[in-house]
Structure 1
Amino acid sequence: MSVINCDYLPADKVVFPPELALLVVRKASAMAAALEEQALDQLTKDARRAIFRGTEPRRVIREMRL
């Protein structure tokens, strides 16, 4: 039986600075908001295109899984 060295795991606990944590959270929030805006724009564009082509609204709802 062999012993596996796990030198990739930190030996000591790392103190995560609160200022850095706050900046990470703010950045993640901004990225999520941008992604949400892009998704909203794309879904709206797709729904409008389908309605313009004559697709029934109920079918659009079903196909888009709304």
Structure 2
Amino acid sequence: MSSNGEIQGAVWFKSSHSNADGNCLEVAHLSAHEVAARDSKQSHGPVVVISSGAWSSLVTWMRRS
């Protein structure tokens, strides 16, 4: 599991498909084969950390929808 320090030092990015008003999901790839996600409007709010495999499955599912 990733440490709080790793999450705080993470490099966050938004999808190129994000809307102009900035309401989107930010994602950071962590070193422990994990992905962190957060609400762009609450950058100091809660963070969800999931495995890289679970993230890949989610992205694949979203692209099919």
Greater percentage in helix = 1
- Smaller-chain TM-score range? under 0.3
**How does the TM-score come out when normalised to structure 2?**
0.24
Which is bigger in relative contact order (C-alpha 8 A, separation at least 6)?
A: 2
Q: Which protein has the larger Cα radius of gyration, Structure 1 or Structure 2? A: 1
**How does the TM-score come out when normalised to structure 1?**
0.23
